Copies of this chain bind each other. A is one copy, B any other.
């Protein structure tokens, strides 16, 4: 049968299977290959809260979605066009999101009576015809195939069957005309010590590819060309790793050592993991007994002159909030990273959400303002972390960096920055009594930044005491005077306000005025951008602004907002940025809020936008 090849702009595929089926790995390989091929990509891992729920259960389904394209893209895609379902449960969970007319590739061998029942199917959907009208279904006996492929290798059946995911990957590589070498190389490195495993996997991969090539059932291949990305060296990067690299880069640039104090929590733990692997950079990681000790240790390390960082997720932020107040009143440089997840309480720990913004703004006792920056894409986490560090050190303040589960685990091609081009980082370190001072004034501020001197223990002549009680303006001594307290309260707010001078002019995607402005922050920015671009293509007067700094807000934002008839704020929460914007600018902004533990869908945001566009 002749095979035809269609060229597409983009494709969205989703791998889904049991936790034990290696779907994250499969997705990761597809992503790396797409990156090497030169596509723009965006990924969305989606795994269960259980380590490994019972095989075949709905709760145990793990998935990985990737959008790859020859054009610039901003999201992992709303709904996949191709679904790989390694078992009935995976089909059950993910079918509802597959587009009509989409392609389903299933491992027919996993559709046993037991698995079907476990997944809640009364009849076998591969046989009862229920799928045939709406989807193109490829039912492949993958178990059988890999067993064939590994024949003669003398491996236990269990091991052989574990290569099924590579077989499925091989089919997709054929479908999208991808090279196998990157994956083969990766397998060789990964299983360097177990060459027979590498071999089995390679066989499965090739078998899948060849199956696509030769089997009668597949008729069409798709070609997705290289995207035209800015020139440079690229790597694929996820948000957590990018965040960790951003911290390290800032410290190196500031000529400081990194101190990381924290406690593991999903989805932030990978930042700790990355940090703890960088001993050669002198990075010190302290896995503390809890989040409170984690942040407390960073406060101590900051006092003693390290660039101190902690990362956590919402429940951890709650625990750290008392100590954050201490960091604010002692005016020490500190970076606190919240990789947001679904709340409240333990909530949906492995899912994404943007619902900790107001906690970051207000979640402390007293008037305790601090700057807040949010990363927009996985790769942007690097720059946001770097920027947060720069501000913390320049202004002598703790800074909040908000990312989220989607950014943290999602990935995209990332143009590796050149270190020289990163902005310089100033610190307030001093090593002697400033000229003309008789005794050290630990709260004597820099006029431009309101930063106070950073006098670290071991410097002679600058001995001083700080703490959580209100301090006298200038001297920093404990002070209960009413007017001083008022003044210090105002100064602490003013200091945060001053960070506005660091904020680049706001970038507007689209015209500077129009009918609708979509105003986003953080992980919703990709969806907002996609939606905007499509609306613009359809001829609507829509523009997009993504906020990087949320506290303070950019000084040009007010004027920008006024140029639009309506402002629409999409957030994966019940309306948080919108409260800040409405209070600040008294504009009747409206929200688009869907709290499903997943990135917002561009298509639905577009619908919502059209409501306001009339």
Q: Which residues of A contact B (CB under 8 A)?
A: 48-49, 59, 313-315, 317-319, 321-322, 325-326, 328-330, 342-349, 351, 353, 355-356, 358-359, 361-368, 467-470, 480, 482-483, 485-486, 489-490, 492-493, 573-574, 578-580, 582-584, 586-588, 594-598
Q: Which of B490, B588, B598 contacts A482 (CB 8 A)?
A: B598
5 A–B contact pairs at CB < 8 A?
Answer: A325-B343, A343-B367, A361-B362, A485-B597, A489-B595
* Contact in complex: A342, B485 (CB < 8 Å): yes
Interfacial chain B residues near A326, Cβ < 8 Å: 345-346
Contact A348–B485 (Cβ < 8 Å): yes
Contacts of A318 in B (CB 8 A): 321-322, 325, 363-365
Q: With CB as the reference atom, state the residue of chain B lying closest to A467.
A: B346
This chain's copy number in the assembly: 2
Whether the Cβ atoms of B574 and A493 lie closer than 8 Å is yes
Nearest CB to that of A580 among chain B residues? Answer: B583
* Complex CA–CA separation, A583 to B588 (angstroms): 9
Nearest chain B CB to A316's CB is how many angstroms away? 8
The one of B348, B362, B588 in contact with A362, judged by C-beta atoms closer than 8 angstroms, is: B362
Choice from B321, B330, B492 contacting A363 with Cβ under 8 Å: B321
Cβ of B345 and Cβ of A315 under 8 Å apart? Answer: no
- Assess whether A345 is in contact with B359, with CB atoms less than 8 Å apart: no
> Which chain B positions have C-beta within 8 A of A344?
325, 328-329, 364-368, 492
- State how many angstroms separate the Cβ of A80 from the closest Cβ of chain B: 15
C-alpha gap A368/B587 in the complex (Å): 25
Q: Which residues of B contact A353 (CB under 8 A)?
A: 366
Q: Considering the chains assembled together, what is the distance between the CA atoms of A137 and B427 in angstroms?
A: 55
Bound Cα distance A367, B586 (Å) = 23
Identify A329's interface contact among B345, B482, B579, CB under 8 A: B345
Whether A586 pairs with B582 at a CB distance below 8 angstroms is yes
A328 to chain B: closest residue by CB:
B344
Having A318-B325, A480-B597, one finds 14 other A-B pairs with CB under 8 Å, namely A315-B365, A317-B365, A325-B344, A328-B345, A329-B346, A343-B364, A343-B365, A347-B469, A348-B469, A355-B365, A358-B361, A362-B363, A486-B596, A586-B588
On chain B, the residues within 8 Å of A346 by CB distance are 326, 329, 467-469
Question: Cβ of A574 and Cβ of B362 under 8 Å apart?
Answer: no
**Chain B nearest CB, measured from A493 CB (Å):** 6
Please give me the residue from chain B that is nearest to A326 by CB atom: B345
**Residue of A321, A351, A588 contacting most chain B CB atoms (<10 Å):** A321
Inter-chain contact B468/A345, CB cutoff 8 Å: yes
Minimum distance in angstroms from A264 CB to a CB of chain B: 16
- Do B361 and A595 have beta carbons less than 8 Å apart? no
Cα A359 to Cα B595 in complex, Å, equals 22
Which of chain B's residues have a CB closer than 8 A to the CB of A598? 482
CB pair A329 B347 closer than 8 Å: yes
How many angstroms between the C-alpha atoms of A582 and B355 in the bound complex? 21
Rounded to whole angstroms, the CA-CA distance of A412 and B266 in the bound complex is 51
Instruction: State A489–B343 Cα separation when bound (angstroms).
Output: 9
